[in-house]
Amino acid sequence: MKRFVKSILGISTVLIVTGFLFSFTYAQYTESSNFKIENSLIGIMEGGISTSSSFQYISSSGQLESGQSDSTGFGSNAGFLYFPIATTPVVLTTAGNGAVLVSWTSSIGTLGNVTSYSVGVATLISGTYTYTNVGNVSSYNVTGLTNGTTFYFKVRSYVSGLIVSESTAVASTPTVSSSTTTTTGGTVGSSGSSSGASSSASVGVTTGATSPGGGTGRITFSGRAYPSSKVSILKDGTIVVTTIADPKADFSVSIDSLPNGNYNFSVYGQDSEDRKSTAYSFPVFISQSSTINIGGIFLSPTIDVDKSEVKKGENVAIFGQSVPDSEITISVHSNGEFFNKVKTDKSGVYLLNFDTTPLEIGGHNAKSKSAIDTEVSPFGATVGFKVGTESKKKEITSCTNLRGDLNCDGRVNLVDFSIMAYWYKNNKPPANVDLNNDSIISLIDFSIMAYNWTG
């Protein structure tokens, strides 16, 4: 029995290893006059071209045996080289007596799971930061700090020891008794969140929310949207304040007089063509007399296409708006994923004429994200188009493209919610109310509406 089991496991292992080997041995060799790579495997996941004055090298190579291939001119490490990226954690600091509690949201990795974090502290926003590896946790109490001195904090996330994201700097001043909190995040990057936020507004929340006692709080949002665009802040699903971003796309807005309690804030922007960004939510607890700053918000680019259907082999224009002079990564999702990069102009507008030759007949989606300096936005909403036998211009309908805008007023809000609630679990709802086309209004329809909610 023992020998039989051992034999089966041995044979299985040999088969798996053999299959693995065969799956990689179809490649040919790659060479130039300067160097040669045998049995190379070229796989472009996301990223560009590695280049120098003497050679150009696209993506990575696979090598079946460990060790380093090298020469006097270059070296190549064995194994699958991957470049994981991750969302920047939202960081919150709470000043204490000689200490600051730093907590953060999980960083979501692509091409790898985040395995640990480190917390950096400095006395200047520009550094130098001293980092402490804190493991895979979501808070860390920095002690031994001098009361009355302003410290700056950053949080880095790691995938197997590789830094994949770094938050913007968050200031906090420990005092004997303090309840000031500061939050940052929503981007990948390290530039100061407060700098350049020249467009600002402030509003007091008064409608039915006055607090006879128990203290009130203040919350500030700042970040990047689109040049001279409208940015809306929602509190529990209702717009409480809007502001206009400056020509560089920076914005800052505050809400005062918030009674203690849990709030679900969200932020979205509208570009020059009234296309709306994906909303980002920030559920926070406002404690007595607390001040919360949420900085480094980087709204994802808006996106649209010029054709609802494009003839295979012809171009489809993918366009939208983001921060001026930023780099836009556009992902076209088919059976595989195609990545393209374009630059935005001075108005933040980008355009990609995408050749549909490699796409199969059928439906496809495109989405985009933006990067400037060291900050990277998350991917935004997807836009769909078909590849077929003829090209059809995307028609501008009388209603908006917003799913859930049931009364076609350009917003998804209480009125639309009320209309959908009227049809809840009713048979034969109107087609425009039945957002997932399953002939009944269920929680899924409400969920689609909630995702697109504009207040």
Partner 1 sequence: MKYLYRTFLILFLFSMYTHTFAMSVSLVPNKATVSIGEEFYVDLIFNTENKNINGIETTLTYDSETVLFVRAENGQSFITHWIVSPIITSPGSISLSGITPNGFSGFLNSSEIYDRTGNISRLVFSPKKSGQSVIVVNRTLVTENDGEGTPATINPAQVVISIGVDIINSEYKLIDIHKPILSAEIVKDQNLYNGQMTLVFNAIDKDSGIEGIYIKKNKEWIRITNPYTLEAKTSRGILTVKAVDFSGNTATERFFLPGYGSFWFYIILATVVLGVLIGFRFLYKSYGKNKFKKII
Q: Check residue 399 and give left, alpha or beta (phi > 0: left; psi -120 to 50: alpha).
A: beta
Q: Check residue 47 and give left, alpha or beta (phi > 0: left; psi -120 to 50: alpha).
A: left
Q: Are strands 85-86 and 170-172 parallel, antiparallel or unpaired?
A: unpaired
Q: Report the C-alpha gap between 7 and 3 in whole angstroms.
A: 6
- Per DSSP, 102 falls in state E
Q: Report the C-alpha gap between 84 and 136 in whole angstroms.
A: 17
Q: Report the C-alpha gap between 395 and 19 in whole angstroms.
A: 50
**DSSP E strands, 271-306:** 280-286, 291-298, 304-305
Report the residue number, 152 or 280, with the smaller CB distance to partner 1: 280
SS3 at position 446: helix
Q: Which two tokens stand for residue 348?
A: 């933040």
Report the residue number, 132 or 418, with the smaller CB distance to partner 1: 418
Q: Report the C-alpha gap between 172 and 139 in whole angstroms.
A: 15
Report the residue number, 217 or 227, with the smaller CB distance to partner 1: 217
Report the residue number, 11 or 414, with the smaller CB distance to partner 1: 414
Residues in a beta bridge with 385: 364
Least separation, in Å, of the C-beta of 290 and partner 1?
Answer: 5
Helices (runs of H) and strands (runs of E) counted in the chain: 3, 35
Report the residue number, 60 or 300, with the smaller CB distance to partner 1: 300
CB burial readout 75-91, b (16+ within 10 A) else e: ebeeeeebebbbbbbbb
Report the residue number, 217 or 324, with the smaller CB distance to partner 1: 217
Q: Are strands 181-184 and 91-95 parallel, antiparallel or unpaired?
A: antiparallel
Report the residue number, 338 or 423, with the smaller CB distance to partner 1: 423
CA distances to 1, 10, 14, 18, 294 from 6, rounded to whole Å, are 8, 6, 12, 18, 58
Report the residue number, 228 or 260, with the smaller CB distance to partner 1: 260
Report the residue number, 131 or 417, with the smaller CB distance to partner 1: 417
Least separation, in Å, of the C-beta of 91 and partner 1?
Answer: 10
Q: Are strands 139-142 and 307-311 parallel, antiparallel or unpaired?
A: unpaired
Place of tokens 């600002």: 200
Least separation, in Å, of the C-beta of 185 and partner 1?
Answer: 10
CA distances to 127, 264, 271, 344 from 162, rounded to whole Å, are 21, 33, 35, 30
CB burial readout 397-429, b (16+ within 10 A) else e: eeebbbbbbbeeeebbbeebbebbeebeeeeeb
CA-closest candidate to residue 288, choices 173, 440, 181, 381: 181
Least separation, in Å, of the C-beta of 304 and partner 1?
Answer: 16
Q: Check residue 290 and give left, alpha or beta (phi > 0: left; psi -120 to 50: alpha).
A: beta
Cβ-based neighbours of 159, under 8 Å, separated by 6 or more: 84, 86, 109, 112, 113, 114, 115
Report the residue number, 56 or 210, with the smaller CB distance to partner 1: 210
Report the residue number, 37 or 142, with the smaller CB distance to partner 1: 142
